[in-house]
Structure 1
């Protein structure tokens, strides 16, 4: 049984839907929880946690408000002495095909999902480094990883937080800070009216939240993307093919790429790079300069 006794967790966008489910589960497993949201839902979730015998505090405000987030983290740290877990869950949708989408809608989605993950993470980062412990979860989406019609803004934001996760996982490793991502399938307020009730019943938020628990416990992985929905769980990986090498004296490189394209994209023996420089190591190795990977 995974227990979080004595730990302090912050969950953004936790007044309903996935965030509420995450907060309730973390509290059930012993964590003290900061329930952040823009509205009164945060108070209602805190009341639920307290009624079940847990500890929680509400923090009503936007994840894009740096002063508010810093004050929220300071209050929690002063009251409970540490911050162990951050779940960046807050989000909104402004779906339209790209041709019909105005740039204000694009900027808003990036602000809420990307900066709304960066600002809380920045606020807890030094605390986690100082205590030599931290667990952070970014909320990505299959829309970001694989694309989805009508969600260019949302897709861009959700892939951005994956890159953010990858780098923070590298930078935080020496401080025992592990950073992972969740790509959920769940019926939330953002999806109301989009699917039949029998489908909604299969993709309830509480069927996703166990993945969060698996990503924040003491032996959690690092830099892992878990897809979750309907009590099913998968891992998404960003891989690189072995590809091809074109001789240095070739003048028709583009034509060779086109001719050998199937070989270029062949997924056999794919590599999952540990960091960005692995691409260079692979390419230089194939060119005869270095060991490759």
Structure 2
């Protein structure tokens, strides 16, 4: 195999199913050696009794690629450290980290208990932070040793993290946090040769099949717009050396569409030059809102 990731070593978390599996296979098809991470849990994070990482690694090997499975919990310090260590010890290096692992505990806010909040924040947000931390430490050491990395990180957010989603307060908060983490990482790690970007995908997976049930038209001319494989080409490119100069950016990917998302920027502004009274502040705010673009609709509202 050869392609735009020929020779690169790529770690993909949550790679046993859905988007992660599609990414792992796509990287392997472009010549990467892949560490396939998956804990094998159920949709809500409960123990699943399966080991899908082994199956995906075997699938890559059967296609002539190189892959190794990793079944550790990347939302723990030791699991995340073990993940990065597996790449370096098995293949001698690490070039790209794709963080994708996650599950859902959907509830309306008044029914969302603390445990379900903590569990989703842990797997999505902490599960992005810890692999990033250990990968960044490796790349910093490489840079200081004079071996300048051409390193890439691709994080996974969601439209829920950009606009919000009714019944998914925990998930939306975690996915919004991933965007903030990405922006900081892009700024902090640039000096070490690391680029960090985030993709907000829309695809049919275990996590979205209920949301899409009955709403998706049949594939046109053989093209399934909601197939997770449609998202992977952008992720693979962002994870390749060819994406040089692209960092700190947020993309949406769905079907054949790629969108650069433009986040918070200063809009209409009023400056009195001194302190407002509450009534004055309210009047100014209403005037500014008439000149501002309306926010995007919250999913499910």
Name the TM-score, length of structure 2 as normaliser.
0.83
Name the structure 2 match of 1:71.
Answer: 82
Partner of 1:274: none
- Ranges in structure 1 where 5+ consecutive residues have no aligned partner: 269-293
- The 1:245/1:47 distance shift into structure 2, 3 A limit, reads same
| Aligned match of 1:286 | none
Is 1:29 aligned with 2:30?
yes
Q: How does 1:181-220 map to 2 (within 5 A)?
A: 181-194=198-211, 195-196=213-214, 198=217, 201-220=224-243
Q: 1:123 aligns with which of 126, 131, 134?
A: 134
Q: State which of 85, 93, 103 in structure 2 corresponds to 1:82.
A: 93
Q: Which of 251, 255, 264 lines up with 2:280 in the alignment?
A: 255
Assess, with a 3 A threshold, how the Cα gap between structure 1 residues 265 and 83 changes in structure 2: closer, same or farther: farther
Q: Report if aligned partners of 2:27, 2:34 keep a CA contact under 8 Å in 1.
A: yes
RMSD: 2.0
Name the stretch that deviates more: 233-242 or 16-25: 233-242
- Which moves more between the two structures, 206-215 or 240-249? 240-249
> Counterparts of 1:258 and 1:251 in 2: how far apart (Å)?
10
Deviation at 1:252, TM superposition (A): 2.9
* 2:110 aligned residue (99, 117, 135): 99
Question: Cα–Cα, structure 1 residues 255 and 64, in superposed 2: closer, same or farther, change >3 Å?
Answer: same
Structure 2 portions without partners, runs of 5+: 41-50, 294-301
Structure 1: 4+ residue segments shifted above 6 A: none
TM-score, normalised via structure 1 length:
0.85
Task: Please identify, of 200-209 and 98-107, the stretch whose mean Cα deviation from structure 2 is larger.
Answer: 200-209
Rounded Cα–Cα distance in structure 2 between residues aligned with 1:248 and 1:128: 47
More divergent stretch after superposition (188-197 vs 139-148): 188-197
Matched residues in 2 for 1:185 and 1:126: separation? Answer: 31
1:248 offset after TM fit, Å?
A: 2.6
Higher RCO (CA < 8 A, seq sep 6+): 2
SS in 2 for 1:190: coil
Query: What is the aligned residue count?
Result: 268
